[in-house]
Structure 1
């Protein structure tokens, strides 16, 4: 059986240490079903619509959210048909958001391939994102009114987080706390929903559903914090993305916030770059070099690991099981991507 495609530079989720062979095989089988459903649902009679809709799906990716759904489902009945459908719905929601993100960021590369907006233009990329959101909602609608309500609330928080991410931190608000709140909405909520769906549709009791949801949101925040570090610390061929995209867009991620808070005069040049125009390639390269060697990166790495540790703490009341062990190891694997 072929393992799902994964993002460049990111270890496959299913290679996490200690994952029991039988559990690995069950999750692989579940992912094969999810992949088949994804392929079927992005298909279209019009060849161009089918190609554009499947562009990012074909480019691969970590499939982190559906894998989480399947792993959490192992706390209950495993990969039921409803779990597989929910996992596909979450991944399509995520894919749709990427089409929109790339338009807003004017990105050229996604998953090591041309972004949809670069290949098809902004208008088509936005419309394809809308189409995929609609397809995800259609899948979730078959899972009942509770799932529909959860999908809607997730979408509202996701969009709210994205809007706030585009705006400066309000006066009188701690920039780091504001940033973490944005991440909880922008990234954490969809990963929380992925985990919640896994518990819900595998028949887990309500207390386990609640634990899975909280674990998922904290895991999602750690996942995004790690991605933000990768945006600074990795080379393009390693990550499949253009390094420094967040810096060029003026986004104040965690290492940037820590660097800007420095009172050391030796950091004046870095702060000047981070608060200035980084459209110039030479200025961006200088900012990346200075930031990569700055203690702010170490501070951000430790804070990212702390968020992952808090995710693991949520699982402590669960009885020992292979699934619990896998979820604990997953949290560690997410943050160890950043070294």
Structure 2
């Protein structure tokens, strides 16, 4: 008998509770002072998208089955790795907040925040070490890609490299790589074939890119009272996102009209004045580049779903299709 969506949701809910339990144990255990720091972001919540993806992909190999301990270990290790990168990213970006709480480096300082990230990555590695050499190698390659992506973002593209292509590559490394890994780990440790694991890995990488491109749109179009994030935050912080790259691409090609040139000049000016920022955001919202970014995000989500073609129809596959759609529905 085929599993229903309700049965899948019940299974995933129970398995996620096991992940949360192991995650709590993994971010604590070193004494009150250290535990407060290493559990700071985990306790603040988060979408838990990556461990959920592990659990869904495990169902492709073990349909209707409670997740094995290997699957729970893999899901927890992926989330710990993600948390480790957040500590490091916030130090590099001097971020004031994360998940609605003060960023760790604002509360404990850069040195302690960096060390906390290192501790979490070490604990992720200990879990991965239980899962065999293939998983260890894949995890190490993923961590390398995460670091290379961050480094490339700080250096920027070389003069002969297309800035838009470079940006997508950075997104693939910084975000897509770990979501790819979550999907692959779920398939491997759920007993799916290598063909299935390869397909969901491609899917994961592509929804990672779609997710970040959707964030580029949300930064400009969201209702701050709903999202909790001031529209245009990336602009104020000097973060270059795809809409801005597309404006610069048009300028280089000589196709940017006078209004677009004025908009780009304002973007490159001091945006500390709230009224000026609001004007820039309003003009960007109505621009072709935001519409184009929205379409590119949808294209990446569609390409992610296309990667699932080798999979047999199942409620787990449909859950992956729905997840891809959720990545871009956030823009609406």
Alignment of 1:244-263 (within 5 A): 244-262=232-250, 263=256
TM-score by length of 1: 0.90
The worse-fitting range, judged by mean Cα deviation, of 250-259 and 215-224 is 250-259
Alpha-carbon spacing, 1:239–1:176, altered in 2? closer, same or farther (3 Å): same
Q: Does 1:312 align with 2:305?
A: yes
Q: Deviation per CA, 1:24-83, whole angstroms, max 9, x where unpaired? A: 001111110100000011112421111111111111110010011111111012521111
TM-score by length of 2: 0.92
Work out the CA distance in 1 between the residues paired with 2:223 and 2:118. Answer: 31
2:214 maps to which residue? 226
Offset at 1:255?
Answer: 1.4
After TM superposition, what 4+ stretches of structure 1 lie above 6 angstroms from structure 2? none
1:22 maps to which residue? 7
Offset at 1:217?
Answer: 0.6
The worse-fitting range, judged by mean Cα deviation, of 65-74 and 257-266 is 257-266
Offset at 1:241?
Answer: 4.2
Alignment of 1:254-293 (within 5 A): 254-262=242-250, 263-278=256-271, 281-293=274-286
Work out the CA distance in 2 between the residues paired with 1:160 and 1:282. Answer: 37
SS state of the match for residue 312, structure 1? Answer: helix
Q: Deviation per CA, 1:299-321, whole angstroms, max 9, x where unpaired? A: 10000000000000011121111
Offset at 1:145?
Answer: 1.4
Work out the CA distance in 2 between the residues paired with 1:116 and 1:76. Answer: 38
2:152 maps to which residue? 164
Work out the CA distance in 2 between the residues paired with 1:112 and 1:236. Answer: 13
Q: Does 1:323 align with 2:323?
A: no
Question: Which segments of 5 or more consecutive residues in structure 1 lack a partner in the other structure?
Answer: 1-18
On the 8 A contact 2:196/2:310 being kept in 1, the answer is: no
Work out the CA distance in 2 between the residues paired with 1:272 and 1:313. Answer: 39
Alignment of 1:1-339 (within 5 A): 20-77=5-62, 78=65, 79-241=67-229, 243-262=231-250, 263-278=256-271, 281-339=274-332
Q: Deviation per CA, 1:80-135, whole angstroms, max 9, x where unpaired? A: 11111101000011011111111111111111222112222222211111111111
Question: Which segments of 5 or more consecutive residues in structure 2 lack a partner in the other structure?
Answer: 251-255
Work out the CA distance in 1 between the residues paired with 2:229 and 2:93. Answer: 12
What is the CA RMSD across the aligned residues, in angstroms? 1.7
Offset at 1:288?
Answer: 2.3
On the 8 A contact 1:110/1:241 being kept in 2, the answer is: no
Offset at 1:281?
Answer: 4.8
Work out the CA distance in 1 between the residues paired with 2:136 and 2:272. Answer: 41
2:253 maps to which residue? none
Work out the CA distance in 1 between the residues paired with 2:105 and 2:274. Answer: 21
1:13 maps to which residue? none
Work out the CA distance in 2 between the residues paired with 1:195 and 1:338. Answer: 24
SS state of the match for residue 311, structure 2? Answer: coil
Q: Deviation per CA, 1:230-288, whole angstroms, max 9, x where unpaired? A: 22222444334454343233222111112233411111222013334445555444432
Rg (Cα) greater in structure? 2
Work out the CA distance in 2 between the residues paired with 1:281 and 1:42. Answer: 39
Work out the CA distance in 1 between the residues paired with 2:28 and 2:183. Answer: 26
Residues matched between the structures, number = 321
Alpha-carbon spacing, 1:316–1:253, altered in 2? closer, same or farther (3 Å): same
